[in-house]
Amino acid sequence: MALILEVTMMLVNRYKNTDNICMKTSVRPILVVGDIMLDQYFKGNVSRISPEAPVPVVNVKNIESTLGGSANVASNISTLNGRVVLAGLIGQDHYATELKRLSKAAHIELRTLETHNPTTTKIRVIGEHQQITRLDFEERQVLTANQQSQFIDVIGDMGAYSAVILSDYNKGMLAGDFCRHLVQLANDANIPVYVDPKGNDWSKYNGAYMVTPNLKEVQELLGRPVANTDNEIEQAGQMILKQFNIEFLLVTRSEKGMSLISRNRAKHFPTRAREVFDVSGAGDTVIATLAWAMVQGQSLDESIHVANVAAGIVVSKLGTTPIGYGELQRALHASDDKVLPLDLLLLELDAYRSQGKKIIFTNGCFDILHRGHVHYLKEARALGDVLIVGLNSDESVRRLKGPTRPVNQELDRAEVMAALESIDHVVIFNEDTPYELLSAIRPDILVKGGDYVVTDVVGREFAKEVVLIPFVNGFSTTHTIKKMNERGT
């Protein structure tokens, strides 16, 4: 009994706090203000050198557009199912049209001022997976007094937002006095301000709740090298906090994770990335995920943990791809455990399906594991890529088999099943049949024993295919228990 209690508490503790962020649909939107950009990728093949100049000729096969700059921050919030308003400057060109289309598709509420300058756009020409050149269309623009007034009207009441993110790419949108004014408006409305900084004028961020520089930006601000060690990061952070009125500093340190520094403490968060491929967009993901987790009710440390996990996913990819809610949840729950509650299992199944894997499902009491079970499960696993076993709970087994069953309790049975190489995941269900479980899982193949006929298989309508596998003669749990009782007498 003590062992069962210990295992139960272990499972409860494993999935609490940041490992189970519940979405709050009533949360006010997050306001993102900053330098809006459009990223475009011209991808193609390279087979020759131009006769006009010693440069490769790219035969373009594909053009992709993504949201960049502060728009990428907003996109990260939206893909986490968060509500977001994006405010900034755009031009009156076809790039602005494309940016509006992408924002609408990403469920981002766009509030902008249109200017005669081009929409900030970065075009990357890629041949044979290698970036050959980048074309930038941009003009640095500082808002006039009249434009500042118009922009405040566009934003509206700061009290309508749950948080403000200032995404500064040093293109002029968040220049000096106007940035200070935005911070003051948010503070007056008691709304926290998160800043992804750029440049050396951090006085414009005074009053911010948190600033999230990377190590390079810390070095540029201080005008000297800073080693990527805990001690030097702490010292540099304290120097910055003495100069500016900022409550928290969160330094992102690439493969070494993050460091949270305030005037009375420092805490370091090691990275969760297995391998760093590309840090592009990592800062956008960090500040977006951090603010999102905070408005969902997570503590500061928990939110940083979530942001750190998100950053670990992003830097292990190529390019600036926003992280999705399901992808983040899967990473937060990542473990080697095969026994999962249904909500976490469904997240795993989403990942398997995105990889094109075939899902097999079977179920049973599996009270005393025997040769017949092992053979049956190996045959089931051979039908596809991932085998899910629905395991009847103790209460369910008692209703089906009588008060003397099960012999082994559900957590013990689950661990034994999970030890089998043929099984990928085990999920415990409390109903008499797996009907509700199947309605959620919807496997590619539903497997049952040879004593069934297809028309009698419960939940068959939720599977693409039903397969019957004959039992090995002479093996059953009931028969095993009978032999044990006979020998006992």
Structural domain boundaries in the chain = 24-332, 342-488
Considering only CA atoms, which of 407, 419, 406 is closest in space to residue 374?
A: 419
Integer Cα distance of 386 and 424 in angstroms: 6
Q: What is the pLDDT of residue 320?
A: 57
Mean pLDDT of all residues in 343-347: 83
Considering only CA atoms, which of 411, 412, 394 is closest in space to residue 403?
A: 394
**pLDDT bracket for residue 124 (50, 70, 90):** very high
Q: What is the pLDDT of residues 243-262, one digit of tens each?
A: 999 999 999 988 788 899 99
Which residue has tokens 């024993």? 449
Q: What is the pLDDT of residue 257?
A: 85
Mean pLDDT of all residues in 157-164: 96
Q: What is the pLDDT of residue 325?
A: 75
Q: How many Cα atoms occupy the beta-carbon half-sphere of 294 within 13 Å?
A: 22
Which entry of 35, 284, 394, 424 is annotated as an active-site residue?
284
Residue 456 confidence (pLDDT) above 80: yes
Q: What is the pLDDT of residues 218-241, one digit of tens each?
A: 999 999 999 999 999 999 999 999
pTM, to two decimals? 0.68
Considering only CA atoms, which of 40, 138, 160, 162 is closest in space to residue 88?
A: 138
Residue 101 confidence (pLDDT) above 90: yes
One of 3.40.50.2300, 3.20.20.70, 3.40.640.10, 3.40.1190.20 is the CATH number of 24-332, namely: 3.40.1190.20
Q: What is the pLDDT of residues 279-329, one digit of tens each?
A: 555 789 899 999 999 999 999 999 998 898 888 777 655 555 677 777 787
Q: What is the pLDDT of residue 332?
A: 75
Comparing 140-154, 193-207, 339-353, 421-435, which segment has the lowest mean pLDDT? 339-353
Q: What is the pLDDT of residue 17?
A: 45
Question: Residue 331 is which amino acid?
Answer: A
Burial of 267 per CB tally in 10 Å (0-12, 13-18, 19+): middle
Residue 402 confidence (pLDDT) above 70: yes
Long-range residue pairs from 202-207, CB within 8 A, at least 24 positions apart, any chain:
202/240, 202/243, 202/244, 202/246, 203/244, 204/174, 204/175, 204/176, 204/177, 204/179, 204/180, 205/166, 205/179, 205/244, 205/246, 206/180, 206/244, 206/245, 206/246, 207/180, 207/183, 207/245
Mean pLDDT of all residues in 162-179: 96
Integer Cα distance of 176 and 174 in angstroms: 7
Do 342-488 and 24-332 have the same topology in CATH?
no
Comparing 9-13, 224-228, 254-258, 464-468, which segment has the lowest mean pLDDT? 9-13
CATH fold label, 342-488: Rossmann fold (3.40.50)
The whole-chain average pLDDT of the chain stands at 87
284 belongs to the catalytic site: yes
**pLDDT bracket for residue 411 (50, 70, 90):** confident
Q: What is the pLDDT of residue 14?
A: 38
Q: How many Cα atoms occupy the beta-carbon half-sphere of 362 within 13 Å?
A: 28
Comparing 2-11, 37-46, 381-390, which segment has the lowest mean pLDDT? 2-11
**pLDDT bracket for residue 201 (50, 70, 90):** very high
Q: DSSP label at 368? A: S
Q: How is residue 15 written in tokens?
A: 């999935």
CB count, 10 Å around CB of 190?
8
Mean pLDDT of all residues in 317-342: 70
The answer to whether 168 and 138 have CB atoms below 8 angstroms apart is no
